[in-house]
Amino acid sequence: MQVTITAVGPDNRGLADPIVHYVATAGANIHEIQMYDRDDEHLFAMMLRIEWPDDEEPVGVLRERLNEIGRLKGLTIRTWSRDEHRRPPRLALCVTYRPEPALAILRDIRDKRLKASAAVMIGNRNSCRGIAEQFGIDFHNIGDEKGNPDNRSMVDLFDEYDVDYIALARYMRIMPPRACWEYAGGRIINLHHGLLPPFPGFRPYHDAYTHHMLTYGATAHFIVPELDAGNQIIHQSTFTVTPGTSLDEIIRTGETDNEPQCLAEGLRRVVDREVELHFHRVVRVKR
């Protein structure tokens, strides 16, 4: 059984060794290790992707052993396997203003095009509360009066609702590195409202328009700590306009039609396990 382990906490010596030693001596095959050690931030983070012999020992036992190591070392350790519960994956939908991407996902779930369940909707504004209520999903606003999110509360909600994947459905805030590491390994999927890598940043429509582009698009990609990094692309969708089309019309078409389709298709590919994130690269899964 494939298992992803993440460990995050204050930097210190000897943090990785007990984790790696335990999983190796317990008979796991280690497929991937990534580590993050920044002296200026005093943060240690590690992600392991392993093949765990669940026929010999349940994942729950592995989780308990690693949590013991975490308590001793001052680390928050998460042990996750998509296959542990034999259920449709649970999604957290993170939103700000635009309702269309989250609405597309909820409709796909309702119509059984997306084999997942929506566990919770989290926003840094209240703009999308209505669609959460429409579909009977709990909504939590983690933003202050200016929309600044309480990132710790967000992670706590991910844990409370036992989510498998996190969809940033035009969530217009940057996920902090710690949160990215806590759910590393291809569990966070972002919708960027422009084509990557040429148009990153917060105003991709404007940037493309300045370059007199006639083709515009959106990108669904896995999140890693680097903002809008281009190696984690899951799906891109585009639309073409005629010369002279106004920027307002381009943005309207992108936001209402193209972006929702892009995120819904990207998320479907992840849920259906057509693609996974290995070593910061998207790979096609052979089944």
- Which DSSP string corresponds to 28-92? PEEEEEEEEEETTTTEEEEEEEEE--TTTS-HHHHHHHHHHHHHHHT-EEEEE-TTSS-SPPEEE
Residue with tokens 């933003």: 143
Strands 165-168 and 139-141: unpaired
- CA nearest 8: which of 32, 31, 38? 38
Fold category of 2-80 in CATH: Alpha-Beta Plaits (3.30.70)
Cite the DSSP H helix spans in 111-258. Answer: 129-134, 151-160, 177-182, 204-210, 247-253
DSSP strand pairing (43-51 vs 2-10): antiparallel
DSSP state of 254: I
Contact yes or no for 8/34 (Cβ under 8 A) = no
Top CATH class of 90-284 equals alpha beta
Contact 77, 146 (CB under 8 A): no
Domain ranges of the chain: 2-80, 90-284
pTM of the model: 0.94
pLDDT value at residue 126? 97
Instruction: Note the pLDDT of residue 228.
Output: 46
Q: So what's the pLDDT on residue 259?
A: 99
What is the C-alpha to C-alpha distance for residues 238 and 42, in angstroms, rounded to an integer? 41
CA–CA distance, 208 with 280 (Å, rounded to integer): 26
pLDDT score of 177: 86
pLDDT 10s digit of each residue in the chain, 287 long?
Answer: 999 999 999 998 899 999 999 999 999 999 999 988 666 668 899 999 999 999 889 999 999 999 999 999 999 999 999 999 989 999 999 999 999 999 999 999 999 999 999 999 999 999 999 999 999 999 999 999 999 999 999 999 999 999 999 999 999 999 988 899 999 999 999 999 999 999 999 999 999 999 999 999 999 999 987 654 556 999 999 999 999 999 999 999 999 999 999 999 999 999 999 999 998 889 998 66
* Per-residue pLDDT at 269: 98
Determine the pLDDT at residue 36: 80
